[in-house]
Amino acid sequence: VTLLKAGTFEVLMVRFASLFNVKDQTVMFLSRTTYSLQELGAMGMGDLLNAMFDFSEKLNSLALTEEELGLFTAVVLVSADRSGMENSASVEQLQETLLRALRALVLKNRPLETSRFTKLLLKLPDLRTLNNMHSEKLLSFRVDAQ
């Protein structure tokens, strides 16, 4: 439960990165409605939205396969350093197994792009930053609503 609570936004960010069109500066929602960065920015989402676009551009530039994206999503979710984590040793062991599988898959798919796995791992702290920004934005909405 702790992993799901703490990692949901990060997982969604990874899975929905393809909905961000950096070139056109738009986001397509699951309803297939498209909004511009400017329209969404007017709703008070400026800094967070810009960071989400930046992350999406970097992640999409890696051109991950569905299998790579699935394993990366699992790595994002299974993180032993989440606050309130019990049995972190087991979670850490599972994450290490997932990381090895992801590394093997990335190297198998593109053996000449040796830095691709490292670039992918560097997205993990970016996701944490986005998660923190998202939490702060939610808290500010709650404070403003009171």
Q: In what order do the strands lie in the sheet with 34-36?
A: 20-21, 26-28, 34-36
Domain containing 15 equals: 2-141
- Integer-rounded Cα Rg, in Å, for the chain is 16
The number of domains in the chain is: 1
Cβ(41)–Cβ(49) below 8 Å:
yes
Q: Which residue has the tokens 């989400």?
A: 52
| Residue 117: inside a domain | yes
Instruction: Tell whether 134 is covered by a domain.
Output: yes
Side-chain-side CA neighbours of 16 within 13 Å: the count stands at: 16
Whether 146 maps to a domain, the answer reads no
Residue by residue, pLDDT tens for the chain (146 residues) are 778 888 899 999 999 999 999 889 899 988 999 998 888 888 777 788 889 999 999 999 999 999 999 999 999 999 888 888 888 899 999 999 999 999 999 999 999 999 999 999 999 999 999 999 988 888 776 666 66
CATH code of residue 58: 1.10.565.10
User: Residue 71: inside a domain, yes or no?
Assistant: yes
